[in-house]
Amino acid sequence: MYESKREPGRKFGSSFVGKRFDSYEGGEQPGEENQNEHSHSQVVGEHGPAHQVVFHHDHEKGEHKVTSYHSDGHRNESVHSSAAEAHEAGGELANTDVKRREHPDQQSAEPEEMNYMAPETA
C-alpha cells in the first residue's frame, strides 16, 4: 500500500500509481478514474490473474492503454502515461513479470560439448 506524499492519508494499491499521482502539480489526474477505482492487485484478487493482456500504445497522444481479460469474464482497462508503466501494470494484472519470461532450451540443438570441427576453407 502506497501513501501519497502530496496528500497524506490518500492511499493507493499500487506504488507506481501513487508516485504518478504525486508527480502531478495540479488539475485532474490522467486515468485517475480507472486507476483509483480498482487497483491492479484488487482486480487480480477479485477476478484472478488475467489470461490475456492487450497493450495499445499511442505515442503521439502519450497514452498507453492496457486491457486485461480474466477467466470469470471480467475485462479491465487502464490508461498510463508511459509504455513502462503500462507493461508493469500488465505484469501485475497477469500476476507475472513480463520482462522475465521462461524461454525453453532449443530442443533440436546439438550440445557444444560435441566438439565438431569447423570445415577447412581453401
Q: pLDDT value at position 100?
A: 54
Residue matched to cell numbers 479491465: 76
Res. 67 pLDDT band, cuts 50 70 90 = very high
The whole-model pTM stands at 0.51
Q: pLDDT value at position 36?
A: 44
Model confidence at 97: pLDDT above 70? no
Model confidence at 59: pLDDT above 50? yes
DSSP state of 52: E
Q: pLDDT value at position 37?
A: 45
Q: Coil, helix or strand for 50?
A: strand
Model confidence at 45: pLDDT above 90? no
- Euclidean distance between CA atoms 79 and 53, whole angstroms: 13
16-to-32, 41, 42, 68, 117 alpha-carbon distances in Å: 13, 12, 15, 18, 53
Mean pLDDT on 99-119: 63
Per the prediction, the chain carries an average pLDDT of: 78
